[in-house]
Amino acid sequence: MMNKRGVGVEQVFIFIVVAITFGLIVIFGYNAIADFLVKGKQVEFVQFKTDLEAAVKRLSTEYGSVRVEEFYLPADYRQICFVDMDYPPSPDEQEQLCQNDQLACQVWKQAQQAPEEQEEGKPGSAGVDENVFLKPAALVPIKVSLIHLGSPGFLCQKISDGRFTLRLEGKGSYTQVGRAE
């Protein structure tokens, strides 16, 4: 009779050990998968930033070249705004940007201040470290050098399914950025 009781206690102990082991595997597995997904989004964002900077820089020196480029971001992002920090906006243009993106508006206002009023002491794009703005906010500031947008001095575009398209035109010393038609 003692053997039958010992077998029952042994089975309960084995079931408890199996349940604890299964629970630990599920918890650690979930954490590993969640961490993997976060790192994947970070890699995708860095790839986007690199592709955007390279495309703009490449075209800036190719006078007259026009390319329509498609860019890919993590699906979390809903909108992107490009701002020409050297463009002097009218109050209406500034208000229009403020309605689209508050952070971009604030940075644009800062860029338009007189050099002695700015933290960096440099006018326009030289005095700011960001001219591309995402919603939700980007992981790191994005500054694509040598861009112009014409009137109204900014371009805000919706991002659908983690991608958007731009028209880039080389002007010799800068790149004209616009909507792809």
Q: What is the mean pLDDT of each run of 10 residues along the chain (181 residues)?
A: 62 87 90 86 87 87 87 88 84 84 82 58 62 85 83 87 89 86 74
- Does residue 112 fall inside a structural domain? yes
Q: Would residue 68 count as lying in a domain? A: yes
What total number of domains does the chain contain? 1
- CB neighbours of 60 closer than 8 A, spacing ≥ 6? 146, 170, 171, 172, 173, 174, 175
Q: Which residue has the tokens 């995402």?
A: 134
pLDDT confidence of residue 5: 60
Interatomic CA distance for residues 125 and 142, integer angstroms: 12
Is 17 inside any structural domain?
no
**pLDDT score, position 4:** 61
Q: Is residue 111 part of a domain?
A: yes
> So what's the pLDDT on residue 178?
86
In the chain, the DSSP E strands lie at: 66-72, 79-83, 132-135, 147-148, 154-158, 163-170, 175-179
The reply to whether 3 falls in a domain is no
Query: What pLDDT score does 171 carry?
Result: 86
Residue 13 resides in a domain: no
The boundaries of the domain holding residue 121 are 38-179
Has residue 141 been placed in a domain?
yes
Inside any domain, residue 88: yes
